[in-house]
Amino acid sequence: MSLNLKSLRTRFALRFIRALKKIHHQEKSFNKRYYKVKVAADASMAAAVGPRRAWSRALLSRARLGWRCRAQSRRESVECWRRKRMHGHGHARAAEGQGQGQAQAQELRSLVPGGEAMDLQNLLDETAHYIKCLTTQVNVMRGIVNCCSTS
Amino acid sequence: MGDDGSSHMGYQHSGEIMLNSTSSSMNARSMTLNSVYGSGSGSGSGSGWDPMVSLSQSGNFGASSMGSHGELTKSSSFPNLIENQGINNSHLVNYPSDPNLAQMLPKLPMFGGRNFPDIANHFGLPGAGVSHTPHALFPQIYGSSKSGLDEKRGCQISDPRAVGVSPNGKRKRDPESLSPTDENTEGDLQKDHLSDASGQKEQDDKKLKNDQNAVTTSSSKQTGKQVKENSQGDDVNKQNYIHVRARRGQATNSHSLAERVRREKISERMRLLQELVPGCNKITGKAVMLDEIINYVQSLQQQVEFLSMKLATVNPELNFDIERLLSKDILSSRGSGLSVLGFDQGMGSSHAFTQGIHQSLTAMPNSASQYHHMSQAVWDGDLQSLLQMGFDSNSNVGGLGPNGSSKSEL
């Protein structure tokens, strides 16, 4: 059985499974576990990708902030993002010059982490990579669920 | 004998045609050739080399009766061919019309090798000359390239060179490059010469285009794509700019040019995204495509949440890591083929899982525009069923079993 140890899938799977074990040891309430598993999924994905993508960087900083002081830092980070967004919007709108997909582009920015301050071109790049990584994530997690539930 | 005489005349005429090949146009050449050989059958370009095949397959041409002629077997094979009366013009009727024949002619002196006057003399000899030269020469080409298309490409590449830039230079080079040869290595050398010629031709073509670019101003004569290819080749020669040329009928304002480049980049990325998102092949238009992308990303994120909830309930075993990964690798190779439609099937037993694979695989051809609706419904159904299990403690691990089996009935 050949396992590509350096592939994104394997890196994510290892981190995520380790985090899962830890969470199951630590937390006993379902709600907290659910939340932590969610964060762990995102964080392990972002860590597996590394800091070379804007969305992974945003996720990592979000996860780091989230672990410590959730509410306050979220407010702060949102403020910071909003400021960037105002600044970024002017730039993005001037660069785009076309009103076709403005609303959708805005929504996409809200979906993709860290997409607030991006022009459309980079946003589409990040979206493509994000979709790829999301599908990997879904497949790995589904595999884990199947393994856990079958045995 | 009369046949010989007429064929002799015909070949001599063709020899003269070859001599004049550089000056005359290709059409004129092909026309005269057609008239000589009794009009080609009008076969497509794909069959251009068929006569060669038939010729090469048709018998052997015997030993050289006039071996004293010429230095090489190639040139000496011409007289061989003279003898064989069986091969006559009928083979040449199958020559395709215009371009291939015209292209083949410039090739002939190249392969016929050294001395062009020799070839003319050979052609002047009574009997079948031309019909056999291909046999002698072109099997070399067959050896060098696997398909007739490649040869054609080689011929076509050779053509502008022969017609345009420096045919004399090329013809001169032929004897120089091929002169120090043996019989055995001649084929190899011809192959090399082919590749060399084609490579040099490409370079020359590029240089031609470069020169043209340098000469012409930034008017709207060339297409953007051509220019972009040239600009990529130009990078070595010129500075590292990205030269963009305005297309025909478009504004040449620098702002609009930059705008156009940017728009093309964006549309290129949209195309990439189209491949990633399933079922978006027929969608044209930015807004609709963006909608689809947004829906897909949202559904993926929802799946992640759903799966993390399931994982929060399932208690993983202690000896988890490597064997899990190994077994998961088997499953994930199957699982990665599943689309969003099949995610709910993954619950419960492996029986349900394999069932889910079949169901999702059959469901995949359906239009994916429905997928998010379906996933929404199933998502709700799953949530409700999970909640119904009284799902607030760890004791519900076993509850997934019956839940899985009930899910498989969906």
Tell me: the pLDDT tens digits for B213-228?
444 444 444 444 444 4
CB proximity list for A60: less than 8 A, separation 6 or greater: A43, A46, A47, A51
Instruction: Check A146 against B346: CB less than 8 A apart.
Output: yes
Query: DSSP per residue over B150-219, as a string?
Result: HHHHHHHHHHHHHHTS-HHHHHHHHHHHHSS--HHHHHHHHHHHHHHHHHHHHHHHHHHHHHHHHHS-S-
Question: Looking at CA atoms only, how far is residue A106 from chain B in angstroms?
Answer: 10
Binned at pLDDT 50, 70 and 90, residue B408 comes out as very low
Short-list A92, A93, A62, CA closest to A78: A62
Neighbours of A145 (CB within 10 A): 23
Chain segment B165-191, per-residue pLDDT in tens? 444 444 444 444 444 444 444 444 444
Count of alpha carbons within 13 Å of B196, Cβ hemisphere only?
12
pLDDT, tens only, B28-62 = 444 444 444 444 444 444 444 444 444 444 444 44
The pLDDT > 90 percentage for chain B reads: 4
Identity of the amino acid at A12: F
Q: What is the mean pLDDT of residues B352-374?
A: 44
From the list A104, A134, A144, the residue facing B311 with the nearest CB is A144
Nearest to A143 among B335, B392, B400 (CB): B335
> Cβ contacts (< 8 Å) between B352 and chain A: which residues?
none
Give whole-number Cα distances, B35 to B13, B18, B28, B98, B240, in Å: 11, 15, 11, 12, 53
Residues 6+ apart with CB under 8 A from B303: A138, B340, B343, B375
Contacts of B297 in chain A (CB under 8 A): 108, 111-112, 127, 130-131, 134
- B387: contact with A, CB 8 A cutoff: no
Tell me the per-residue pLDDT of A95-148, one tens digit each, with 9 for 90 and over.
Answer: 444 566 788 888 888 888 887 888 888 888 999 999 999 999 999 888 888 877
Contacts of B348 in chain A (CB under 8 A): 149
Task: Give the Cα separation of B294 and A104 in Å (integer).
Answer: 8
CB contact under 8 Å between A149 and B312, yes or no, is no
Which residue of chain A comes nearest to B349, CA vs CA?
A150
CB B314 within 8 A of CB A145: yes
The upper half-sphere exposure of residue B374, i.e. CA atoms within 13 Å in the direction of its Cβ, equals 17
d(CA B77, CA B118): 12
pLDDT in tens, B270-285: 888 888 888 888 887 8
**Tokens coding B260:** 């156009």
Nearest to B304 among A17, A41, A146 (CB): A41
- End-to-end, the C-alpha distance of chain A in Å comes to 20
Concatenated DSSP letters of A88-113 = HHHHHHHHH---TTHHHHHHHHHHST
pLDDT of residue B326: 67
Query: Using one digit for the tens of pLDDT, what is the confidence trace for B306-327?
Result: 998 888 887 766 566 667 666 6
Evaluate whether B93 touches B41 at the Cβ level (below 8 Å): yes
Higher pLDDT: B324 or B206? It is B324
- CA dihedral angle for residue A37, residue A38, residue A41, residue A42, rounded to 10 degrees: -150
Mean pLDDT of B371-379: 47
* Maximum pairwise Cα distance, chain B: 107
Q: Which of B300, B349, B400 shows the shortest C-beta gap to A131?
A: B300
Question: What pLDDT sits at residue B296?
Answer: 92
| Residue B48 phi, psi dihedral angles, 5° rounding | -60, -30
For residue range A2-49, what is the model confidence (pLDDT) as tens digits? 667 788 888 888 888 888 888 888 878 888 888 888 888 888 999 988
Residue B89 confidence (pLDDT): 46
Please report which residue ranges of A27-101 form alpha helices under DSSP H: 30-49, 54-68, 70-96
